[in-house]
């Protein structure tokens, strides 16, 4: 176990170095161009002007000197904070905002979520450089879910490099039904267990052509199962209570989106090939291929049609907690994550995003997924349907807070999160 602990410490250090490097670059750029005021004219982002002009600045200054400022009470401060939260301020090293709210799902119960989002640039002299972002999220529910995590995208100078990362830790009294569509379809298979999971996944990409990147990635997961009943052991065909994987591979990315977090046009293709070899200390030797293809297109005024195809294929001796699962915050929304699981998954979703007024919008989506042990076992009748509606509120420029109601063949689920599902 000391060896496994050492490997996790290594993974955490790598992730920490990445975050430190981002912060160091941002501070250095800020100090070098402390007085810069940026107004973007690119297609990728439009930043509000810092000032209305010297004449107005002088007039405002004279007026301000002649009138004593009034103290704002707490509620006015909160109102003003959210009123101005969606205006990016280029004078800040990081334009950061925090929001929280309640949510509900059949899987986790009633909960409270907290999300924080920051926008920044690693090259303040280049207004055409897409904004980098970082999100911190936390969740606590009545059914014992506790989660905290960080994810982000860093765009370096001249877009020559990208650093994408995600890491999270959670503990959750969960449920399982077994492996395969047929097992998940039987309500009587439901059994309880508790799980603790930690995962870190950074990737560093080099630009090789316009919108095209390639580079290494690291993935490390640790999962501990507790309160695992005999029925659960029978369903999963395993008595192991602790699982660890440490591996890496290669990532390919094509990204022509106009805005990373809230695209209105463009394509996003990401292909990850990850290996977990025995010489890295893995008890379970396997590898997997993860493919995501997304597209975005403006329809009519204020409307965007977005589509996504995702597949995950596992090979060799895959531990059951690492199998492909249906459900979650971003795909097949509303399904109890893990009710349907198997070696492989293919899933598709199409979403209509419509701006209504000011900072509000709505979405409607449909989706489908299929889990299967091998391609010869794919059956049309085993396709899982999905659909739903959601409300969007522009928390920051290009950053939406979302409330989604997902409908599944097993019930409904309500989700609260930040950023679009895809």
What are the helix and strand counts (H, E) for the chain? 5, 18
Q: What is the average per-residue pLDDT within 68-81? A: 62
Q: Does the pLDDT of residue 68 top 80, yes or no?
A: no
Residue 236: band (very low, low, confident or very high) from pLDDT cuts 50, 70, 90? confident
Residue 31: band (very low, low, confident or very high) from pLDDT cuts 50, 70, 90? very low
Query: Which domains are assigned to the chain?
Result: 2-418 (2.40.160.50)
Average pLDDT, the chain: 81
CA dihedral over 243, 289, 190, 328, signed as positive or negative? positive
Residue 348: band (very low, low, confident or very high) from pLDDT cuts 50, 70, 90? very high
> Residue 51: what pLDDT?
39
**102 or 167: which leads in pLDDT:** 167
Q: What is the average per-residue pLDDT within 364-390? A: 95
Give which of 395, 405, 282 is closest to 335, Cα–Cα. Answer: 405
Q: What percent of the chain has pLDDT over 70?
A: 77
Lowest mean pLDDT segment, chosen from 31-45, 112-126, 207-221, 332-346: 31-45
Spatial distance between the Cα atoms of 18 and 102, rounded to a whole number of angstroms = 32
Buried b (16+ CB within 10 A) or exposed e, 8-34: beebeeebeebbeebeebbeebbeeee
Tens digits of per-residue pLDDT, 150-204? 999 999 988 899 999 999 999 988 888 999 999 999 998 999 888 899 999 999 9
Q: Does the pLDDT of residue 396 top 80, yes or no?
A: no
Q: Quick check: helix, strand or coil at residue 153?
A: strand
Q: Does the pLDDT of residue 45 top 50, yes or no?
A: no
> Residue 109: what pLDDT?
75
Spatial distance between the Cα atoms of 378 and 58, rounded to a whole number of angstroms = 71
Q: What is the DSSP letter of 28?
A: H
């Amino acid at each position: 176990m000391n060896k496994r602990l050492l490997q996790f410490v290594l993974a955490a250090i790598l992730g920490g170095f990445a975050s430190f490097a981002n912060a160091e670059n941002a501070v250095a750029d800020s100090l070098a161009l402390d007085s810069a005021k940026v107004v973007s004219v690119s297609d990728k982002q439009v930043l509000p002007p810092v000032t209305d002009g010297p004449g107005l600045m002088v007039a405002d200054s004279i007026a301000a000197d002649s009138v004593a400022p009034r103290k704002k009470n707490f509620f006015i401060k909160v109102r003003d904070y959210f009123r101005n939260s969606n205006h990016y301020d280029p004078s800040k090293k990081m334009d950061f905002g925090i929001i929280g709210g309640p949510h509900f799902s059949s899987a986790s119960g009633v909960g409270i979520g907290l999300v924080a989002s920051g926008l920044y640039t690693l090259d303040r002299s280049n207004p055409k450089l897409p904004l980098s972002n970082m999100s911190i999220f936390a969740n606590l529910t009545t059914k014992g879910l506790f989660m905290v995590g960080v994810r982000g995208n860093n765009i370096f100078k001249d877009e020559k490099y990208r650093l994408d990362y995600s890491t999270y830790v959670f503990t959750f009294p969960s449920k399982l039904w077994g492996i395969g569509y047929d097992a998940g379809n039987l309500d009587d298979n439901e059994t309880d267990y508790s799980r603790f999971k930690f995962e870190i996944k950074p990737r560093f990409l080099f630009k090789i052509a316009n919108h095209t990147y390639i580079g290494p990635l690291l993935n490390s997961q640790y999962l501990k199962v507790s309160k695992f009943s005999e029925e659960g052991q029978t369903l999963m065909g395993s008595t192991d209570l602790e699982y660890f994987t440490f591996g890496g591979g290669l990532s390919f990315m094509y990204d022509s989106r106009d805005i990373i977090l809230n695209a209105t046009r463009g394509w996003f293709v990401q292909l990850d090939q990850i290996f977990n070899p025995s010489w890295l200390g893995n008890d379970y030797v396997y590898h997997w291929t993860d493919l995501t293809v997304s597209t975005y297109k403006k329809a009519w005024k204020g409307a965007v049609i977005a589509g996504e195809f995702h597949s995950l294929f596992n090979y060799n001796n895959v531990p059951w907690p690492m199998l492909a699962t249906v459900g979650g915050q971003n795909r097949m929304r509303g399904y109890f994550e893990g009710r349907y699981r198997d070696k492989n998954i293919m899933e598709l979703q199409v979403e209509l995003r419509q701006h209504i007024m000011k900072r509000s919008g709505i979405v409607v989506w449909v989706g489908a997924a299929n889990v299967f042990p091998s391609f010869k076992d794919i059956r049309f009748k085993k396709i899982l349907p999905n659909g739903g509606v959601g409300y969007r509120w522009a928390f920051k420029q290009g950053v939406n807070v979302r409330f989604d109601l997902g409908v599944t063949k097993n019930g409904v689920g309500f989700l609260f999160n930040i950023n679009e599902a895809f």
